[in-house]
Structure 1
Amino acid sequence: MQQHPPTHTHTPLQKPRDKKTKRTAGGRKIKKKHTHTRAREKRDRIRGGAVHRAAAPISLSSQSPTSLPMASAGGATGPAPAILAAAAALLVVVSLLPHAAASDSDHKYQAEEKVMLWVNKVGPYNNPQETYNYYSLPFCHPSDNPVHKWGGLGEVLGGNELIDSQIDIKFGRDVDKGTICSIELDPDKAKQLSDAIESSYWFEFFIGFVGEADRNNDNKYFLFTHKNIVIRYNGNQIIHVNLTQESPKLIDAGKALDMTYSVKWERTNVTFAHRFDVYLDYPFFEHQIHWFSIFNSFMMVIFLTGLVSMILMRTLRNDYAKYARDDDDLETLERDVSEESGWKLVHGDVFRPPRSLALLSALVGIGTQLSALILLVILLAIIGMLYIGRGAIVTTFIVCYALTSFISGYVSGALYSRHGGKNWIKAMIMTASLFPFMCFGIGLVLNTIAIFYRSLAAIPFGTMVVVFILWAFISFPLALLGTVVGRNWSGAPNNPCRVKTIPRPIPEKKWYLTPSVIALMGGLLPFGSIFIEMYFVFTSFWNYKVYYVYGFMLLVFLILIIVTICVTIVGTYFLLNAENYHWQWTSFFSAASTAVYVYLYSVYYYHVKTKMSGFFQTSFYFGYTLMFCLGLGTLCGAVGYLGSTLFVRRIYRNIKCD
């Protein structure tokens, strides 16, 4: 799920033309793929998905529909005299922050008011997380200490660092030709730019920048030195920014390159409220296959609920009839009981406390919290269009996680207490810290890698402190409070059947009725219900598209919950029929195994659907995916366990256990 950047654009480097064009809408960020025809360019403007969603709606981002891959000479195919695309697709984020205090989301400009142009980051186009400071390359550096803009917690965690370019742009004032700076190319600078072009770097320069490689000459690279900026406005608000790049100059050590720009203002009828529509890829996200996947998952729900209903209403109803007979039919009852097999024989052990009760209680509590959290964030995204704000989804997720910690504490405390647990402090600490510390451990490894590479993906120490404070002073106390409330208000266990003193031996069964097989097979159908949606989510996160169809996500999430509950109930029924009463952990892992299949799918997606490379990006891809799958597995496991608990209590409620 993504948010849009201020108006900035990413442009990978690809086949060049004499001019490169980037389009931007107020407050968005977009990355584009290379275009060969005018029609393709128009389509790319619509389909290029912004990777970062702009938070500061006052910022504009100039999107470049042209992705220019950089390549060197020698053996490459392409238009003969073409100068190959290159250097780096710069996302130009025109963040319009005036001197006067105003809302970043709907700022209204006065004539001649300063429009600030922010530069952000640079990195290989195929590696979205491998980003560096814009000025790590020898571009025009501001003469004074530039202003840095902190856009919020989510923006910092997204690896954004907005710096004032100090390029003079005034609202409504055209500039025929202005000078940005003159770059003196020494051998080191020339090599830096050439290497960046060779690696297909893109830039976020909140308006746009690109270089080229000439494939007809051996190892010659060109840098566009002039930017034509066309800003479209409606009234006193900026709507779109269009960047055309010209004047490619050879990158040659000892040569000076004069960087220039021009600005032209044009009126448009597009309203500020609809400025972001051009960046939403309607054909991609609302394709018929997306609708078909929802329909297919819905039919799966009908099938599974029918299967569970059959188990409850047919198989169990006949069994209940035996136990409902009158006492005068005692002889027949005893004969039936002596012939019994299956789930009824383990009634004296089925409510025995599970092993590692504190851990199970913590995981179920965390999973329940994550379920509520995901539902809440999806609803907020639908109501508030969070994809429009850069970093808004991340910030919302972190804050809502802290505020929903009471849920995890309550569920964990109640479950632990009802099973007779005594060490509730241990259970409480595990509930409050297990998931955050798992994420912290993965994040620490990734952050160490980012620091080693000097990447903007490294989380600043101050941001870590902010996140820790949120956990220590909001999340942890709420989890503690929830545990205390759940422990004291959970009530008596009130199990339908009394637990026997001596555990019943578990007979050997067929291999497919063992807990491990049931747990592994249990995740197949839930994964099938979200498989198509995973493709859209992965494409949004890793391929620069703006995910905005949260209505689809809500439906898929509800379908996942229902399918998970139904599949886990069926698995629990088969396990109990095999006279195995260790259903608690089996039901949890049966649902949690959905995450295993999602992770395996991510491996396929990495190798088939992306062009990522290098240790840095590979680490971040699989690290982030592991973090996501741990959360998904915990969520599904909790849902499956709670569904199985209701099922087990229901089927044993009416039998005469004694």
Structure 2
Amino acid sequence: MQWSVVVLAVGICCCTVSGDEHEHHYKDNEEVVLWMNTVGPYHNRQETYTYYSLPFCKGPKQTISHYHETLGEALQGVELEFSGLEIEYKKDVPQKQYCEVELTEKVYNAFVYAVRNHYWYQMYIDDLPVWGIVGEVDAGGGKQVDYYIWTLKKLDIGYNENQIVDVNLTSDAKVKLVQGEKLSLTYQVHWKPSKVSFSRRYEKYLDPSFFQHRIHWFSIFNSFMMVIFLVGLVTMILMRTLRKDYARYNRDDDLDDMERDLGDEYGWKQVHGDVFRPVNSTILLSSLIGSGHHCLVVTFFVILFVIFGHLYTERGSILSTVIFVYAATSPVNGYFGGSLYARQGGKQWIKQTLCGALLLPSVVSGLAFTINFIAIYYHASRAIPFTSVLSILAICMFIILPMSLIGAIVGRNVAGQPDNPCRVNTVPRPIPEKKWFMEPPIIVLLGGILPFGSIFIEMYFIFTSFWAYKIYYVYGFMLLVFVILIIVTVCVTIVCTYFLLNSEDYRWQWTSFLSAGSAAFYVYLYSFYYYFFKTKMYGLFQTAFYFGYMGLFSLALGVMCGTVGYVGTSLFVRKIYSTVKID
């Protein structure tokens, strides 16, 4: 038990502190560390291996131990190892050999494979990423193919007073790979003053021409106009329709009993005795609704933290923030899931609390561990360390679960009393036959088209930033699209639910959740298109990694959208049935 608490404390500390070992201030001739991170094929960005998985050699300096990553870095496959190169602040280093590599058959084949597959590597200096290419292929216009490797790393480092503000790498000294010979690896360091301020040093890695392209602004404007149209359309159609319904339903005072019996009453009022009937699979629905509220809160706060804290400039900080916020806001899950379950008349609240608290973490962990086994088989740096697995398990068991239980207790006692505006009939009313396009499965499939259309362009930018070499930084756009998605989802789901109820089908609860959540189905379909037509990925590891994590992304999006649709529809249903006079 004590050991688990220690692991938990380490996990929390990893989530809350910065991953930087320095304070970013240097004195003249003070040591500057060059960390070697990963290497991998250019077209498979997520397929990465430790830098020294290739037979590179280290520099002579051995005085610095291995870097200790944060939890977010460990989960993202960051593997920092000291390069052994001697670099001192503002002290130039002329071209200098730091080691030799003998091209034995094994070493030669490893380098040839890396060059043939366009391997790139990543390094860090003072938290600034630096990329370089291992080598290049020269076909020479004939049948003979030669492989070359760059043996000189020329580092140009810009400084502003006592801080590093810029790093550039130039690969030079191209040497042909010849089995049996030796490679002399060298490096060179040049320091130069810069006017770039420390707060703006990361801007060179961003791509404003891509993320702030006119098509991006146009997509936001288009989605905003869709919101205005949908809100206006829903308001106009529903209010006019409901006004007619209210007028027809409330004219009973002018009719005698026979006229009332022979009247033309039909539609959503006919199911008032069944519309608030407890839904099937109450535990699952309430757990999904609780998890959806939880994901909505986490998404909103993380986006705000990234906007105001520029977390995208630090390795693993966004993922660490997600884990921390998810654990800290666990009572939200228990509160909304527990209160809904209590209003539905559920009695197994312990089972519901466990299901709600562990539903998403278990799915995420199960799929992540499956992918992790593949990563271990390929010896990839994406393999999650065992200590990180223990930290995640400790956070789930000792933070998320107890806090969800507290939230469930509060939710059951504060908001768990049934207060339906209509009495539920003892015997369920039979559902009449209706046209095929009014069946719940069709409504579910159609309900996600417009929400997906409102975020379609943003999905392209998010996919490109995650699966290609771009850094997503326009989180203001993401927040705006997030709000637009919520509004569009609510409007569309209300319309779908009204059509369902008007056909005298009272199964609105699961239908509203699934019709809103079906937007994630279209996102996942789009991920197939993106994989085959926008990337050059290949191999079992990359394919499993891509579709596995895109599945998790789509699942979380579907749970959020489904929750938004359910909550909006629930308010709408309660409103219309609380206004109508029921005999």
Scaled by the length of structure 1, the TM-score of the pair is 0.83
Q: Which residue of 1 aligns with 2:411?
A: 486
Counterpart-to-counterpart distance in 1, 2:412 and 2:19: 46
Question: Which residue does 1:138 correspond to in 2?
Answer: 55
Find out whether 1:248 has 2:174 as its counterpart: yes
Judge which range, 486-495 or 518-527, deviates more.
Answer: 486-495
| Residues 339-384 of structure 1: per-residue CA shift (max 9 Å, x gap) | 1111111111111011001110000110011111111111111111
CA distance in 2: counterparts of 1:219 and 1:288, whole angstroms: 43
Q: Does 1:496 align with 2:413?
A: no
Aligned to 1:378: 303
Kept in 2: contact 1:343–1:579 (CA 8 A): yes
Aligned residue in 2 for 1:420: 345
State whether structure 2 residue 529 is matched by structure 1 residue 604: yes
Q: Which amino acid is the alignment partner of residue 475 of structure 1?
A: I
- What residue is the counterpart of 1:236 in the other structure? 162
Q: How does 1:381-400 map to 2 (within 5 A)?
A: 381-400=306-325
Residue identity in the other structure for 1:600: L
Query: Which residue number in structure 2 is paired with residue 30 of structure 1?
Result: none
Matched, 1:221 2:147: yes
- Which residue identity is paired with 2:209? P
Q: How has the CA–CA distance of structure 1 residues 333 and 487 changed in structure 2, closer, same or farther, with 3 Å as cutoff?
A: farther
Give, in whole Å, the separation in 1 of the partners of 2:67 and 2:33.
11
Contact conserved, 2:513 with 2:563, CA < 8 A, in 1? yes
Map Cα deviations across residues 584-615 of structure 1 (whole Å, 9 max, x no partner): 00000000100000000000000111110111
Aligned to 1:212: 136
Determine the C-alpha separation between the residues in 1 that align with 2:437 and 2:474: 39
Q: How does 1:517-528 map to 2 (within 5 A)?
A: 517-528=442-453
Q: Which of residues 90, 105, 108 is equivalent to 1:190?
A: 108
| Pairing of 1:537-616 with structure 2 (within 5 A) | 537-616=462-541
Q: Give the match's secondary structure for 1:269.
A: coil
Corresponding residue SS for 1:482: helix
Name the CA distance, whole Å, in 1 between partners of 2:58 and 2:161.
33
Q: In the alignment, what sits opposite 2:382?
A: 457
1:334/1:430 CA distance change after superposition, 3 Å: farther
Deviation readout 1:543-584 (Å, 9 max, x if unpaired): 111111111001100000000000000000000011100110
Describe the shift of the 1:116–1:491 C-alpha distance in structure 2 as closer, same or farther (beyond 3 A): closer
Name the CA distance, whole Å, in 1 between partners of 2:241 and 2:160. Answer: 68
Which residue of structure 2 aligns with residue 176 of structure 1? 94
**Partner residue in 2 for 1:164:** 82
Counterpart code for 2:87: I
1:644-655 map, 5 Å: 644-655=569-580
Say if 1:477 and 1:57 are closer, same or farther in 2 by CA, change over 3 A: closer
Amino acid at match of 1:124: P
Amino acid at match of 1:128: R
Q: Give yes or no for contact 2:159–2:193 (8 Å, CA) kept in 1.
A: yes
Find the counterpart in structure 1 of residue 367 from structure 2. 442
Partner of 1:44: none
Q: How does 1:264-413 map to 2 (within 5 A)?
A: 264-325=190-251, 327=253, 329-331=254-256, 335=260, 338-413=263-338
Change (3 A) 1:631 1:444: same
SS at match of 2:85: coil
Give the deviation of 1:333 after TM superposition: 9.6
- What amino acid does structure 2 have at the position aligned with 1:176? P
Distance of aligned partners of 1:333 and 1:399 in 2 relative to their CA distance in 1, 3 Å threshold: farther
- Partner residue of 1:203? 121
The match for 2:11 is: none
Question: Aligned equivalents of 1:491 and 1:148: distance in 2?
Answer: 52
**Cα distance change, pair 121–180 in 1 and its aligned pair in 2 (3 A):** same
Determine if contact 1:148/1:161 at 8 Å carries over to the other structure: no
CA distance in 1, matches of 2:260, 2:57: 92
Match of 1:65 in 2: none
1:25-44 alignment runs, 5 A limit: none
1:278 Cα offset (Å): 1.3
Q: Is the 8 A contact 2:115 2:149 kept in 1?
A: no
1:178 and 1:260 in contact (8 A); partners too: yes
Cα distance per residue 1:608-632 (max 9 Å; x no partner): 1111011110110000100000100
How far apart in 1 are the matches of 2:562 and 2:170?
52
Whichever structure has more helix as a proportion of its residues is 2
Q: How does 1:22-61 map to 2 (within 5 A)?
A: none
Amino acid in the other structure paired with 2:67: K
RMSD over aligned CA atoms reads 1.7
- Which residue does the alignment assign to 2:13? none
User: What are the superposed Cα offsets for residues 238-279 of structure 1, whole Å, 9 maximum, x if unpaired?
Assistant: 111122222111111110111111111111111111111111
Deviation at 1:209, TM superposition (A): 5.0
Contact 2:48–2:380 (CA under 8 A) maintained in structure 1: yes
Find the aligned partners of 1:485 and 1:338 in 2 and give their Cα distance. 47
Q: Which runs of 5+ in 2 are unaligned?
A: 1-16, 125-129
Q: What code does the residue aligned with 1:584 have?
A: Q
1:460-513 alpha-carbon deviations (Å, 9 max, x no partner): 010011111111111111111111111111153121111111111101110000
One-letter amino acid of the counterpart of residue 40, structure 2: G
Q: Distance in 2 between matches of 1:467 and 1:581?
A: 41
Q: Distance in 2 between matches of 1:378 and 1:407?
A: 18
Kindly indicate whether the alpha-carbon contact (under 8 Å) linking 1:209 and 1:227 is maintained by their aligned counterparts in 2. no
2:99/2:185 contact within 8 Å kept: yes
CA distance in 1 between counterparts of 2:118 and 2:235 reads: 56
Alpha-carbon distance between aligned partners in 2 of 1:378 and 1:497, rounded to the nearest angstrom: 40
What is the one-letter code of the residue matched to 2:520? A
CA distance in 1, matches of 2:416, 2:552: 35
1:74-113 matches, cutoff 5 A = 102-103=22-23, 107-113=24-30
* Cα distance per residue 1:51-70 (max 9 Å; x no partner): xxxx9786xxxxxxxxxxxx
The whole-number CA distance in structure 2 between the counterparts of 1:133 and 1:219 is: 27
Return the alpha-carbon distance in structure 2 between the equivalents of residues 333 and 365 of structure 1: 48
